[in-house]
Structure formats: C-alpha cells, structure tokens
Structure 1
Amino acid sequence: MDNALFSRRRAERFAQLLDEANGGRRHHVRSRSDEQLTPLVSLSRQVAAEAPAAPVDPEFRTGLRAMLLATAARDGIGTSAQPTEKASAGRSPLLPAVTARRARARGAILVGIAAGAIAVSGISAASENAMPGDALYGMKRGTERAQLALASSEINRGQLLLDFAGTRLSEASALRGDRAGYSGVLDDMDSDTRQGVRLLTEAAAQRSDAAPLDAVDAFVSRQRRALDAVADGASRADRERTARSLRLLELVAERADALRAAIACGQLTSTASDHLGPTPGTCP
C-alpha cells in the first residue's frame, strides 16, 4: 500500500477518534491502527486538561505558526468545499459533503497538532524528570507510549523500549529503600527490556542480519554497569531484586551471542521463540 495513502487514512482516523473523544458524532467504524492511535487520543485529553508548567519558546511558536500556514496554503485548509462545474456535472451530490468532511478532518488534525505541540512542549519538559508518585509521572509514561506508537519501524520501537528501560533504572536509583516502589520500577524496566530485545532479535532473524543485535549488546553493557552502581550500598532486599534484573541481562547477552552465531553459520532453522525472541539453532 502507498505510504502516503496509509498515512493520510491514519491521520483522518486519528481526527475521527479525537472528535469522538470530545463528544462528537460516533463513526461506528474500526481501523487496524486504532490500537496504536488510542494512546495518542488519551494523551491529547491529558494535554488539554493540563496547563503547561514550563514556558514555550517564542521561536517554537513562530516556527509552528509558519509551518501550519504553509500547510494550509498548500492543502487548502479553510477553503470552500464547493465542487467545480466539471465535477458537479457528473458526480453525486454527496461529493461536497465528503469533501467537506475531509477538509474538516485535515483542519482538526492541524489544530490538534498546533495545540498539542505547544502544550506538550511545556508539559513534557516539566514531566521529563518526574518520578513514580509525582503528579506528572503519568504524563511522562503517556509521552513514551506516544513515541512508541509513532515509531517508524519495529527496530526503532525496540531501541525506544531499551531506552525506556534505562530511564526506569534511573528512576529506581531514587527509590532505593522503598521496597515496593523499587521493585515495581524494576518490574517495569524488565518488561521494557524483554519487549525491546524481542523486537530486535526478531528483526535480526527475519533479515538474517546481526546489525540489530549491536543495539542489544550496547544496552546490556551500559545497563549492567548502572545496575551494579544502583545495587552498591543498597539494602539486602533491593540487592536481591537487582540480582533478578542482572540475571535477565545475562540471558539477553547469551541469546544475542547465540543468534549472532546462528546468523553467521546459516543455522536460523528454528521456528521456536520465547520472551526474548527467536531461539536459534546450534551451529555444527
């Protein structure tokens, strides 16, 4: 399918979901992209309810306004939806209504982008250092989900998830001594680790290319060092919980090494997989 057509349909569906969330008419249709767009709709509602706690750069406002005006001039946002004489001579009278709905959808998208970009620029900046229990922590996690939904490929999603696992570890370092809070954040970290590694190992196996595994190796190396630093001087309960995450990293490293070897010797014959992705065959 044409990427431009897919993106346009996705954008129009996003506008419909925004309209429904704000009390508009329900369209009674479903799209394969609804699962990815729903977190963005939820985030937009949070953005609308929260006032930016940080000032918006005037240059950002000016640049955003110029971009929107240029898009409106190119796509005709705000222009009349009346059909031309040639079109009206042989087409259904429903065409103006369809054209008007599309114009409104494009307009809603632009308005949403403008409002969301201005608000998120302030709120995201304020929530970037939020910790579990803070008022803006939900916004921080919502922004991460939006990034995942907008990722252009499974490899990018995998790399993002590993980045988020690093963020969870930074949060955990501030929660040492809080047994429930520390364990909960490491649970989230391990979940991000497993999901990210699975996406990258699947990409490597599908392409018979070890390049995605480089990101896994780099993650394991820096995450081990950070976990060792967090465990240093921690309580016995926190050290025991940290040991479970370190064991997961050992399994990840072993899987990446085995998959890299299988790619090198052409033994990607196994179709089995687990929480870390494909389980490669053994080289002769």
Structure 2
Amino acid sequence: MDNALFSRRRTERFAQLLDEANGGRRHHVRSRIDDQLTPLVALGRQLGANPPEPAVDPEFRTGLRAMLLATAVREGIGTPPATTPAEKTGVTRGSLLPAVTARRARARGAILVGIAAGAIAVSGISAASENAVPGDALYGMKRGTERAQLALASSEISRGQLFLDFAGTRLAEASALRGNRVGYGAVLDDMDADTRQGVRLLTAAAAQRSDPTALDAVDAFLTRQRRALDVLTDRGSRADQERTAQSLALLASVGERADALRLGIACGQQISTASDELGPTPGTCP
C-alpha cells in the first residue's frame, strides 16, 4: 500500500474534492493527484447517497439499553443532589464540604456524559437510542448524537440535508406518539423547525451559487415526507388531524419556494437579498 496516500496533502485534497462533489465551495485548483482521487470521490458520493443499513442484533440493543439505564440510576445522572441539613443552615467551614462534594458529583456526571458522547460512534449507544421517543431515558442521547452530527458537518449543504433527515426522524417519532395530544404536537413542532432550518440552508446555497443542485435534496425530502404525513392525515383525534394539516401546509410552501427558485435560476434572475423562514424570496422572471 502506498503510504503517501495518507499524507496530509492527499487527505486535504480528497476532502476538498468530496466537498465540491457534494455542492460545497469550489476551490478552482487542479492537482496532479486528482486523477487518482476521482474514483474515491465517486465512491464517497455513492456511499453518502446510499448509506448501508447497519444491522444491530436486537438482543445487543436490549442489553445495552438496560446497561445504560442501570448506570444512569447508579451514578445518579439526571437526579438532583439531595439537600443536606448542613447546606440549609449557616455558612461555616464545615458546611462547605457538602457543596464541594456536590460539585465533584456534578463534575463526575459531566465527565461521564462527555465520555459517553465521545464514544457514541464506536460503542453502539446510538443504535440503542435510535428508536427512543420523547419521554424515554435515552432520548436525550439521541438528540445529542444529532447535535454532534451537525457540528461535524463539512458544509452548509450537508447541514441542511441533516436537518431534513432529522425532520424525517421526528415524523417517525410522531407516528409512535399518535394519540398523545401533547407529545404528538410537540414533536411535530420540532419536525417543522428542522424542516425550516434545512430548507433555509439549502435554498440559500442554491441562490448563492445560482445552481439548483442543492434543491434536489429538498425535492427528495418533500416526496418522502408528504407520503409519510399523508398516512397520519385521517388518524388520531381532531386536534391531531388539524396539527398534521399544518405540517402539510408547510411542505406545500416549501415546494412552492423550491419551484420558484428553480425558475428564477433557470431564467438568470438575480435572487433577492430578502429572505424569510424558508430562505431567499425569489422575484418574478421577465
């Protein structure tokens, strides 16, 4: 194996090519190693478009979930420390000891959380929490994993695609919570917020580059999201159905915005600098 393949220069150039292939900013440079890296870039795009579905053994997921819950209970994570009589009474030197102990306990909890977050990708914790819904002990871990993915995204387009993926995840959670009026509506609120975030990033990228490629992700999202929401249209209480209709109306607005931007880019229109919750607001083609 050519050790030079893993040199810093090759690695940085591969990252640039992969970012450009995914719609990122073009660097307008050419390197003599581009021909060697092109097949790897194609493979990277293929894996990104069709990520392999990990097969997690149900027994492993169940066992890991039970272990994590037991650890949380044993370490007191998520449970406020009990107030001792010494903390309620005077400020003396002796009364500082419980406070120091409490701080150490909180620090230990923070360290445990940090270690757990760092080990998500390799320990299978994300697999154990992937089916968690609001109210489950591991739901916070699931949302923490999503925030970590956003922090590691290489471009605004990648971040926009992630937000749309999370909106799809919220919809799956809402399906599981159907009948829980408060929980169902709250999850759809989160879903719509993720939708707006993702669409705003992708439409802005399309307008800035005068390239509708970023809108392809919006179109694909609309197709699968509408299909899944339509299943919930006539289910649940009247309040649930009305809340579902609000999310469908948002998707209709997203579709109109994407179509208008495509038309504006196609006719060479200068996209307006004004924007709203869905990103740039296009004008009318001459």
Q: TM-score, normalised by structure 1?
A: 0.60
Which residue does the alignment assign to 2:87?
none
Which residue does the alignment assign to 2:132?
130
- 2:179 counterpart of 1:173: no
CA contact (8 A) 1:198 1:275 kept: yes
CA contact (8 A) 1:262 1:282 kept: yes
Q: 1:243 to 1:54 in 2, by over 3 A?
A: closer
Whole-Å separation in 1 of the counterparts to 2:203 and 2:115: 34
CA contact (8 A) 1:148 1:157 kept: yes
Identity %: 79
Whole-Å separation in 1 of the counterparts to 2:130 and 2:172: 12
Give the alignment partner of residue 197 of structure 2, picking from 185, 195, 198. Answer: 195
Aligned-residue Cα RMSD (Å) equals: 2.6
Q: TM-score, normalised by structure 2?
A: 0.59
Q: Structure 2, unaligned stretches of length 5 or more?
A: 1-8, 13-62, 67-113
Deviation at 1:278, TM superposition (A): 0.2
Give the alignment partner of residue 280 of structure 1, picking from 262, 279, 282. Answer: 282
Give the alignment partner of residue 242 of structure 1, picking from 244, 257, 268. Answer: 244
Q: Deviations over 1:246-269 (max 9, x none)?
A: 000000000000000000001124
CA contact (8 A) 1:54 1:125 kept: no
Whole-Å separation in 1 of the counterparts to 2:183 and 2:121: 30
- 2:165 counterpart of 1:154: no
Deviation at 1:118, TM superposition (A): 6.6
CA contact (8 A) 2:206 2:215 kept: yes
CA contact (8 A) 1:127 1:137 kept: yes
Which residue does the alignment assign to 1:80?
none
Deviation at 1:117, TM superposition (A): 3.0
The letter for the 2-side match of 1:213 is: L
Q: Deviations over 1:122-144 (max 9, x none)?
A: 32111111111000000000000
Whole-Å separation in 1 of the counterparts to 2:178 and 2:219: 27
Using the TM superposition, name which of 250-259 and 216-225 deviates more: 216-225
Paired residues, number: 181
Q: Deviations over 1:218-273 (max 9, x none)?
A: 11111111001022322111000000000000000000000000000011241110
Q: 1:120 to 1:273 in 2, by over 3 A?
A: same
Pairing 1:96-135 to 2, within 5 Å after superposition? 116-117=118-119, 121-135=123-137
CA contact (8 A) 2:271 2:280 kept: no
Q: 1:115 to 1:228 in 2, by over 3 A?
A: closer
Which residue does the alignment assign to 1:226?
228
Q: 1:256 to 1:118 in 2, by over 3 A?
A: closer
Whole-Å separation in 2 of the counterparts to 1:215 and 1:119: 25
Give the alignment partner of residue 163 of structure 1, picking from 151, 162, 165. Answer: 165
Pairing 1:1-284 to 2, within 5 Å after superposition? 53=64, 116-117=118-119, 121-284=123-286
The letter for the 1-side match of 2:268 is: G
The letter for the 2-side match of 1:228 is: D
Provide the secondary structure at the position in 2 that maps to 1:133.
Answer: coil
Whole-Å separation in 2 of the counterparts to 1:195 and 1:256: 14
Whole-Å separation in 2 of the counterparts to 1:165 and 1:223: 9
CA contact (8 A) 2:117 2:145 kept: no
Whole-Å separation in 2 of the counterparts to 1:143 and 1:115: 7
Whole-Å separation in 1 of the counterparts to 2:280 and 2:117: 43
Deviation at 1:116, TM superposition (A): 2.7
**Higher RCO by CA contacts (8 Å cutoff, separation 6 or greater):** 1
Deviation at 1:206, TM superposition (A): 0.5
Q: 1:217 to 1:138 in 2, by over 3 A?
A: same
Whole-Å separation in 1 of the counterparts to 2:181 and 2:239: 7
